[in-house]
Amino acid sequence: SQTIHQWPATLVQPVGSPLSLECTVEGTSNPNLYWYRQAAGRGLQLLFYSVGIGQISSEVPQNLSASRPQDRQFILSSKKLLLSDSGFYLCAWSVRGKPQHFGDGTRLSIL
Amino acid sequence: EDQVTQSPEALRLQEGESSSLNCSYTVSGLRGLFWYRQDPGKGPEFLFTLYSAGEEKEKERLKATLTKKESFLHITAPKPEDSATYLCAVLSSNTGKLIFGQGTTLQVKP
């Protein structure tokens, strides 16, 4: 069966510090991978998606970037965090035509 | 513009009190409508996919239905463990993107 792992579960970072969140998927090959952000009381906002290694599409211009160095690894990064980057970050995977499945998220707080 | 609106935002029920959650959508070509359950501090958990008007899916106390403009998630005789936020999302055939609603937070009291 397929599983998705995200870490860390919670993170507190100062403004201006770098960020790296990692997501890995097991039990499937060549999945589509997604990064979402969920603000309190709001729906999920798609940030990035990837259909293959090195292929990244950005949905919203912002202070973040994504990379896919391996087939089942997806990384969300920032060089300098802003206060507005606080939120709940979710990674998801899917295969063509099937539902997306989510990890348990990272709660990011910027101080 | 593709859009998903869920109502109500919050719903409080007594255990055993059946009700329905609504998901209204406008989308340029529906490839699928998805329901998810999200517990506090966790990622959304997939419940159902509906593809065409008239389709219904059931799982335990939950039943999802679909029309051309909206979907309902019916909860029959809910239990406290059904308390969660329920998210609706539509997959647009035009953009290939999944558009989420804001969610309905359900609280079931014993």
What residues of chain B lie within 8 A of the CB of A44, using their CB? 44, 87, 89, 100
Q: What angle do CA B52, A95, A106 make, to 5 degrees?
A: 105
| CA closest to A103 among chain B residues | B43
Amino acid at A55: Q
How confident is the model at residue A57, as a pLDDT?
Answer: 92
> A106-110 and A10-13: which strand pairing?
parallel
Summarised one tens digit per residue, pLDDT across range B32-79 is 999 999 999 999 999 999 999 999 999 999 999 999 999 999 999 999
Cβ contact B82:B70 at 8 Å? no
The Cα B36–Cα B38 span in angstroms is 7
A vs B, Cβ pairs < 8 A, gives: 40
Summarised one tens digit per residue, pLDDT across range A64-92 is 999 999 999 999 999 999 999 999 999 99
Distance from the Cα of B45 to chain A's closest Cα (Å) equals 7
Query: What is the four-CA torsion angle of B27, B48, A87, A25, rounded to 10 degrees?
Result: -110
- Residues with Cβ within 8 Å of residue B16, at least 6 apart in sequence: B77, B78
Confidence of residue A61 (pLDDT cuts 50, 70, 90): low
Summarised one tens digit per residue, pLDDT across range B92-108 is 888 888 999 999 999 99
How confident is the model at residue A40, as a pLDDT?
Answer: 76
Cβ contact B84:B91 at 8 Å? no
Cβ contact B4:B101 at 8 Å? yes
Calculate the alpha carbon distances from B99 to A4, B1, B77 in Å: 21, 11, 29
Residues B7-27 have a mean pLDDT of: 97
* Contact assignment for A44 to B87 by CB distance below 8 Å: yes
Query: Residue A110: beta bridge partners?
Result: A13
Cβ contact A67:A79 at 8 Å? no
